[in-house]
Structure 1
Amino acid sequence: MLQTLNDASLAILGLLALYILYKFLRAIRLVPQQSAYVVERLGNYSKTLDAGFHALVPFFDRVAYVHDLREQAIPVEPQDCFTSDNVRVRVDGVIYISVSDPVNASYGVTDYRRAAIQLAQTTTRSVIGRMELDTTFQERALISQSVVDVLDEVDEAWGIRVHRYEIKNIDTPRTVQKAMERQMTAERDRRAVVARSEGEQQSTVNDAEGQKQELINQSEGEMQRRINEAEGRAQEIEEIANATAEAIESIADAVSKPGGEEAVKLRLAEQYLDTVARLGRQENKVLLPADLTRYDAVLSGLALDDFALQPSGAPTAQGDGAAPDAEDSTA
């Protein structure tokens, strides 16, 4: 019996020795990088262990909380939300946070992950409840920023830092999706009609502008043509007038010279005879003066009224009552 008791005592002492050894070994801690260990001594907060080697007091100190200081992506489970126009949508997302104060993360909240998820869900429901359905798809950034702003208010108390919140999906019932598809189709058709009408309107305006510009160009061209013709006629008249004036001056100079008057009379007589001959050719007859010896009458430029055509074709002079000296001649 005594031997049995000794054996039992040795076993208990051995177990106690192993337990003490285990406690001493557990008192030695190697903290990894980007980690923080919260140590309690006799149930009270003692210190926070950073990365590296640390030795604790066995049986007095213990690591109560272990925190990962890296940024964490925590999924937010899908939840049903109602918009301001009473449409049910299902929203889920991802929240990105990290532990900034291990002590507050340990004692400021029971579970900072779950608390952050719950706060993100309630804020999302509140923000979506103030929006219409169409606005929720357009204002995802506003919803995310609202969640981040609310979580920022508890950062210090909970010992966490919220980096961002992203909405993954906004799902609507099938009936609402069909209604939205019909609305989008109608909107696209309306835009197509508006674009086509605006194109036709612009085309009409362009055609009218083109016709207007064409008429303006034609009128300006016609105006310029008339101006050019008028300037040409004016220049022509001016040139003729200058030439006539020069000719008259030349004739006046010639007449004033000796023998000039006789030359002028001779020239007039030649023109007179040419005129008579031309008229005769037009009438198919030969016109002769009643008295060829009247040189003074010829030189004075007798009018054609001094001659009369007889039915037989012989011209007679209507003058001083002199008898015709020329014989009748037919062409």
Structure 2
Amino acid sequence: KHSLKEIPLDVPSQVCITRDNTQLQVDGVLYFQVTDPMRASYGSSNYISAITQLSQTTLRSVIGKMELDRTFEERDIINSTIVASLDEAALNWGVKVLRYEIKDLTPPTEILRAMQAQITAEREKRALIAASEGRRQEQINIATGEREAFIARSEGEKQAQINKAQGEATALITVAEATANAITQVADAVRHPGGMEAVNLKVAERYIEAFGNVAKTGNTLILPANLADMGGLIATAMAVVKNTGKVL
């Protein structure tokens, strides 16, 4: 009597040797289903034992073609390869192999320690790289900030110089315009009747005032180099005053 339901079958643990001569302790579980009770009864004296032994030999063969690292990375490939090999042979026993799963894959203790040391070294390496990248990024940020601050200061100084130059230029223009206006007004005044006489009077006053100021600064008596010119200026000033009085 055979059950047609899916049946799980524990495959005993066994030692497998990898391509790089590392021993692994491997066990698994096999799922199968009886599809032909007649073949299951007469195709093999014990189809369960036959499936178990075939799965073990197939597992050793597949592991033997792989290096240690690949056995951990390619469990799905190992499982599917075993199922494909078993299913073809199990047809004669009236059995359909559904799937195979590795439960435990254990290397020797010294290999485990070496793997753990490698993992620790990789983690430390990544931590050092992360710390180095952090310091590098920090230096980049500091340099970028200093560069931007320098640019901002330079722009500020540049703008201050521009503003100062513009202010000085504006002041010069204002002074020049005021001077030009004053000259224009003086010229207009000179062109009017009595304008020239007023100018001569002003010059004579300044001349006399200047000599008076110089004479006050010390005990030395200072006389003009040409007294005739001095007298002429005074005479001109008096004439202007008289004429001005007549006009008034």
Superposed CA deviations along residues 87-129 of structure 1, whole A, max 9, x for unmatched, are 1110011122223444554455544433333332223222222
SS across alignment from 2:21: coil
Q: Paired residue for 2:222?
A: 315
* Alignment map for 1:285-300 (pairs within 5 Å): 286=216
SS across alignment from 2:12: strand
Q: 2:185 & 2:93 partners in 1: Cα distance?
A: 124
Q: What amino acid is the match of 2:146?
A: Q
Checking the alignment, whether the CA contact within 8 Å between 2:51 and 2:90 is kept in structure 1 is no
Would you say how many aligned residue pairs link Structure 1 and Structure 2?
A: 231
For the pair 1:96 / 2:31, whether they are aligned, the reply is yes
Q: What amino acid is the match of 2:225?
A: Q
Structure 1 stretches lacking a partner, 5+ long:
1-65, 287-308, 325-331
Identity of aligned residues (%): 44
Q: 1:193 & 1:73 partners in 2: Cα distance?
A: 48
Q: What amino acid is the match of 1:276?
A: A
- Cα–Cα, structure 1 residues 164 and 195, in superposed 2: closer, same or farther, change >3 Å? same
Checking the alignment, whether the CA contact within 8 Å between 2:6 and 2:32 is kept in structure 1 is yes
SS across alignment from 1:69: coil
Q: What amino acid is the match of 1:256?
A: R
* Alignment map for 1:65-80 (pairs within 5 Å): 66-80=1-15
* Distance apart, 1:73 and its partner CA: 1.6
CA RMSD in angstroms comes to 3.5
* Distance apart, 1:83 and its partner CA: 1.4
Structure 2 stretches lacking a partner, 5+ long:
232-248
For the pair 1:210 / 2:145, whether they are aligned, the reply is yes
* Distance apart, 1:318 and its partner CA: 1.6
Q: Paired residue for 2:72?
A: 137
Q: What amino acid is the match of 1:312?
A: N
127, 133, 137: which one aligns with 1:198: 133
Query: In terms of mean alpha carbon deviation, does 241-250 or 134-143 score higher?
Result: 241-250
Checking the alignment, whether the CA contact within 8 Å between 2:15 and 2:23 is kept in structure 1 is yes
237, 244, 252: which one aligns with 2:179: 244
276, 287, 312: which one aligns with 2:210: 276
Q: 1:110 & 1:225 partners in 2: Cα distance?
A: 104
SS across alignment from 1:67: coil
* Alignment map for 1:224-263 (pairs within 5 Å): 224-263=159-198
Superposed CA deviations along residues 157-199 of structure 1, whole A, max 9, x for unmatched, are 5444433322111122223223333333333333333333333
Q: 1:315 & 1:95 partners in 2: Cα distance?
A: 135
Q: Paired residue for 2:104?
A: 169
For the pair 1:187 / 2:94, whether they are aligned, the reply is no
Superposed CA deviations along residues 54-106 of structure 1, whole A, max 9, x for unmatched, are xxxxxxxxxxxx33222222111101001122111100111222234445544
Structure ranking higher in helix proportion: 2
Q: 1:276 & 1:107 partners in 2: Cα distance?
A: 149
Q: Paired residue for 2:243?
A: none
Q: TM-score, normalised by structure 2?
A: 0.73
Structure ranking higher in strand proportion: 1
Q: TM-score, normalised by structure 1?
A: 0.57
Superposed CA deviations along residues 20-64 of structure 1, whole A, max 9, x for unmatched, are xxxxxxxxxxxxxxxxxxxxxxxxxxxxxxxxxxxxxxxxxxxxx
- Cα–Cα, structure 1 residues 83 and 323, in superposed 2: closer, same or farther, change >3 Å? closer
Larger Rg: 1
Q: 1:148 & 1:221 partners in 2: Cα distance?
A: 77
